[in-house]
Amino acid sequence: MDTSTSVASTEDSFIGGRTQFDSPLSEIEARVGRLARAVLLALGLAVGFAVVAGAGLGDANARSASAVDGGRLGGDFPAFYAAGSIVRSGDGGSLYDPARQEIEQVELGLDGYLAFAYPPHVAAAYAPLSLLDFRTAYLFHTILMAAAFVASIEILSKPVPILRRWRWPILAAGFTFYPLFTAVGGGQNAPLTLLLLAVIWRALDEDRGALAGIAAGLLLYRPQYALPVIGLLLLARQRKAVVWAMVVGVVTWSATAVFLGADWVSAWFGEVVPFVERDADVNASNSVSILGFLQAAWGADERPAVVVGAIGAAAVVVTLMWLWSQPERFSLANRMGALAIGVLLISPHTMFYDASLMILAGTAILAGGHSSEEQRSVDGALKTLALVWAAALLHIAADGFGATPLALIVFICFGAFVWRTLSMSNTRTPSIDSSPTGAT
């Protein structure tokens, strides 16, 4: 078991057979909890109203993605819904044909189309949703993504027990964190990525390498995140996890090859590259990766942006490799937190809503350190998280700047988190795994 995550901190706070997190809530904690539940209820009602307002669920207009004010309901969800419809119709061979995608999305009331560039098996996963009318499918997808975030918090409540004590405030803060708020309401799947990373964290904490590997393999639906994760697992000598990730990858490839042929990966990749190039122009102001931000600031075709972006991404990769190659020195919580921010910076295509993964780094901060002084710094951690929560709202000004200020927040958070991790390693209490042989 990777006891490096929370053994020392939990033992420091274990008094009289119970931890400080099991004590009764104070009056102010209870009040904050009630307020948090009210916020969550309001959010739920708002989503329901947004779906029902345009057209009654199940009526003749419910297949349309157009809202009553002429806007688009569901953000990017029409792209996923249409991709699912294409696969369900048996036309998977033309899944990445822009004309075919546009035809399918025009039927949803869109002017033009939203490109779908995920691997084919992602479209297959959305095929069942395409059996429903658009509004019902969007509502169902929104509920699923909200449930994914809730499940992430529940899964991590064992290695990070404060999540259990402050469940409602943390859920309210998470759902109103601008990147996650837009991901859930905008038809994106960032909460699913967050859930898979949470499963990996919990599985490694409990020495369940197979489960961690399966989760990493499922993460291949976003290979720009999965490949770094699998590589870091290999560096951390989690061989069982790597083997299982490869098994899931092979099964996924084989199942897709049955329908699209053995060369489907190269065909898909051939479609993704042009998409990324177009997206560098269209979505420049929404990118939070190093390369994407620099291309937005300097211009997508500017060589300095590409060179500096590549150097910056390489520096992040080296930093993550160094942290994960020393599991005996750096806690699992800190390694997972650094990973969650780092993968955002590495990928050339990382949109602002993907910054939802920073919640994992916030969770790592709440996991505490390995000294009594760190245990008393919860107030400082909450202030830091509140500052990041508020700073994320700066993305609203992205179009005015031509590049999102949120990218700078992600850069700063990665540097600050790594610095914090290094400082904590100097005061870390040895874990059970590192005890001398025969010690009890």
Enumerate residues 6+ apart whose C-beta is below 8 A from 175: 39, 40, 43, 146, 149, 181, 184
- The domain in which residue 157 lies consists of 7-63+133-429
Instruction: Indicate the length of the chain as a whole number.
Output: 440
Q: What is the pLDDT along the chain (440 residues), one digit of tens a residue?
A: 554 444 333 334 333 334 556 678 788 888 999 999 999 999 999 888 877 775 433 344 445 555 444 456 778 899 999 999 999 998 888 888 888 888 888 888 777 778 888 999 999 999 999 999 898 899 999 999 999 999 999 999 999 999 998 999 999 999 999 999 999 998 999 999 999 999 999 999 999 999 999 999 999 999 999 999 999 999 999 999 999 999 999 999 999 999 888 989 988 888 777 777 776 677 778 999 999 899 888 876 678 888 999 999 999 999 999 999 999 999 999 999 999 999 999 988 899 999 999 999 999 998 864 444 544 566 778 888 999 999 999 999 887 788 899 999 999 999 999 999 998 875 554 433 333 333 33
- CA–CA dist 41, 47 (Å, integer): 10
Residue 438 has a pLDDT of: 38
Q: Is residue 71 part of a domain?
A: no
- CA–CA dist 48, 143 (Å, integer): 10
Q: Is residue 236 part of a domain?
A: yes
- CA–CA dist 93, 73 (Å, integer): 28
The CA-CA-CA angle for residues 119, 124, 128, to 5°, reads: 150
Residue 429 has a pLDDT of: 44
Q: Is residue 373 part of a domain?
A: yes
Buried-state track 288-325, b at ≥16 Cβ within 10 A, e below 16: bbbbbbbbbebebeeeebbeebeebbeebbebbeebbe
Residue 146 has a pLDDT of: 96
Phi/psi at 14 (5° precision): -85, 110
Total-model pTM:
0.87
Q: Is residue 222 part of a domain?
A: yes
Given a contact cutoff of 8 angstroms between Cβ atoms, the answer to whether 276 and 348 are in contact is yes
- CA–CA dist 330, 249 (Å, integer): 29
3-state secondary structure the chain: CCCCCCHHHHHHCEECCEEHHHCCCCHHHHHHHHHHHHHHHHHHHHHHHHHHHHCCCCCCCCCCCECCCCCECCCCHHHHHHHHHHHHCCCHHHCCCHHHHHHHHHCCCCCCCCCCCCCHHHHHHHCHHHHCCHHHHHHHHHHHHHHHHHHHHHHHCCCCCHHHHCHHHHHHHHHHCHHHHHHHHCCCCHHHHHHHHHHHHHHHHCCCHHHHHHHHHHHHHCHHHHHHHHHHHHHCCCHHHHHHHHHHHHHHHHHHHHHHCCCHHHHHHHHHHHHHHHHHHHCHHHECCHHHHHHHHHCCCCHHHHHHHHHHHHHHHHHHHHHHCCCCCCCHHHHHHHHHHHHHHHCCCCEHHHHHHHHHHHHHHHCCCCCHHHHCCHHHHHHHHHHHHHHHHHHHHHHHHCCCHHHHHHHHHHHHHHHHHHHHHCCCCCCHHHCCCCCC
Closest CA to 119 of 83, 91, 75: 83
Residue 49 has a pLDDT of: 83
- CA–CA dist 18, 14 (Å, integer): 6
Q: Can you say how many angstroms the Cα of residue 255 is from the centroid of all Cα atoms in its chain?
A: 25
Q: What's the domain count of the chain?
A: 1
